[in-house]
Structure 1
């Protein structure tokens, strides 16, 4: 388990210890666990409460497996917690604005690594953290395949702000929604292939391994199409400034779109 994940687990367990940490695990009731979870909910941390129930459930199930307890009381609390409201991350989902975004990225004058990150975010629409902490060992250049780990980061968001795209319009994660929306709108690809490319898969490890190769050929074609489409959108508008040989004109330029 990654250190960042372990620190989150420790933080959640530390919240529970003051109330039930000294109790024999076999004697802890569902009501006692609920009191702990409600205390977290009272601070508005609904997602943290949900995760705490999951973490405590793993502790209780381990206790059952090692004959330290008879049951997992968290299983009786399914549906008892307030469901966190889903948060829609800002994303550009129209061809016109996607083209403007790609042209803005071409003009980015910050650090070269950040420029590459912006371009890869658009073309590959991976999770921001997966991109930020990518390692060379993950790339198979002969097969043009990137084997990804789970990571996190915020560099691309800062670059988007510097380019003038506010957090209410576009986020690093929004590249995924942009790709999903525009690819589905083309009608060229099986929606399930798009979902597989977005890594929206089963939590079950066996199922995930089975589905890794699903729609692979279509996903390869999809990714090539998407990169070509981003290039087309980027080049879809040019500002032409005509030269009238010194004559004054009220027309300073013309925008052509194809």
Structure 2
């Protein structure tokens, strides 16, 4: 081999008018562009044909390293291996590995989980890991067929029909993401529409007649458990938020002057405002000396800086003799939705917005958290006064 290039000579190469090759030895050369770029390439022959390969850019790839790579390529050629074909095969294998169902699904989950409640995010990933990945996770997503996916979903359906439908929806989102990122040709779940047996939706039980509501309220007001659970039971009917949002209420989120509770909705991760009726403020003021030094309005009785458990309110309702078929912690939402509309005649969009549902105007724009706030403030006070009359 000839002496070839040196590091000093390479560093001395400046601007060139056109693409110029500076040869080293044994087919290795440095290609310099008019823009100043320097990249290593090698020319070799395989099967009587001239071929070329890129070995990386200088100075990231030094002269010494470029020569080592050249020698590796020449060794493979001597063994009857075409380095160009080998590189394409390795690249194809890497692409296939990056396009498996599990890789695409986890990437989709990572993109979306900041917009979900933590519990919802964990549930989606846990279901994928339990029900989908073990059977199809290692397959390139573009190769999975609709019948294969259906067979996996059938296993879930036999165990939990509702879960199968939820996982079907998640799979549809994953395949659409795979299509958008060029790793699947189409959403195969379109072929499975109607393949899973329909399931009957179980709505939360709710009492909406005045006599029934009044009876439950009287039982709640006579509850003799812990002050924390007692306060949560009393506040729940007035503000009708989701149980998980109520139990994680924090003192820092309460604006006493404005009589508002401002927090982030657990389901949509959107900011939300709950106007607080005078009755709610009074209950919170009574509780403040007990739990006001901590973060949570309703802390766990076991300490540890945690909110009270998911089942605390439900257990209290059972202690009062209120069966699950009659009322749960979530039921006040349905009660308020019905009574505010049909009995107190408030506008549906005010109610839906207060429930934290997605509400849009005539132009399709989503209302922000302050929409109808004066009207909702009046509505929440009227609702609280109505409940007091029933109790």
Which of the five TM-score ranges fits, normalised by the shorter chain? 0.7 to 0.9
- Of 71-80 and 217-226, deviating more is 71-80
Q: Does 1:116 align with 2:273?
A: no
Match of 1:51? 166
Q: Does 1:22 align with 2:179?
A: no
Match of 1:100? 215
Q: Distance in 2 between matches of 1:216 and 1:198?
A: 13
Say whether the 8 Å CA contact 2:232–2:247 is kept in structure 1. Answer: yes
Q: Does 1:60 align with 2:217?
A: no
Which structure would you say has the larger Rg? Answer: 2
Relative to structure 1, is the Cα distance of residues 140 and 70 closer, same or farther in structure 2, using a 3 angstrom cutoff? farther
Q: Distance in 2 between matches of 1:223 and 1:114?
A: 22
Q: Distance in 2 between matches of 1:141 and 1:54?
A: 42
Q: Does 1:160 align with 2:317?
A: yes
Say whether the 8 Å CA contact 2:136–2:144 is kept in structure 1. Answer: yes
Deviations 1:214-258 (A, max 9, x none): 433322111000111111111xxxxxxxxxxxxxxxxxxxxxxxx
Match of 2:331? 174
Relative to structure 1, is the Cα distance of residues 75 and 142 closer, same or farther in structure 2, using a 3 angstrom cutoff? farther
Select which of 186, 199, 205 maps to 1:90: 205
Match of 1:141? 256
Q: Distance in 1 between matches of 2:331 and 2:254?
A: 24
Match of 1:243? none
With normalisation by structure 2, the TM-score equals 0.54
- Of 30-39 and 1-10, deviating more is 1-10
Relative to structure 1, is the Cα distance of residues 148 and 3 closer, same or farther in structure 2, using a 3 angstrom cutoff? closer
Deviations 1:165-215 (A, max 9, x none): 111211111111222222223243113322222223269xxx684354443
Q: Does 1:198 align with 2:355?
A: yes
Match of 1:185? 342
Deviations 1:114-147 (A, max 9, x none): 1111111110011111111222333333332322
Match of 2:193? 78
What is the deviation of 1:72? 2.0
Q: Does 1:10 align with 2:167?
A: no
Q: Distance in 2 between matches of 1:30 and 1:139?
A: 50
Say whether the 8 Å CA contact 1:61–1:72 is kept in structure 2. Answer: yes
Which structure 1 residue ranges, 5 or more long, are not aligned?
Answer: 235-258
Higher strand share: 2
Task: Give the paired residue count.
Answer: 231
User: Structure 1 stretches (4+) deviating beyond 6 angstroms?
Assistant: none
Match of 1:256? none
Which structure 2 residue ranges, 5 or more long, are not aligned?
Answer: 1-112, 268-308
Q: Does 1:69 align with 2:173?
A: no
Q: Distance in 2 between matches of 1:150 and 1:170?
A: 21
Select which of 32, 53, 57 maps to 2:148: 32
- Of 56-65 and 11-20, deviating more is 56-65
What is the deviation of 1:52? 1.0
SS at structure 1 position matched to 2:367: helix
Q: Distance in 2 between matches of 1:148 and 1:208?
A: 20
Deviations 1:95-116 (A, max 9, x none): 1222222222221110111111
Say whether the 8 Å CA contact 2:359–2:367 is kept in structure 1. Answer: no
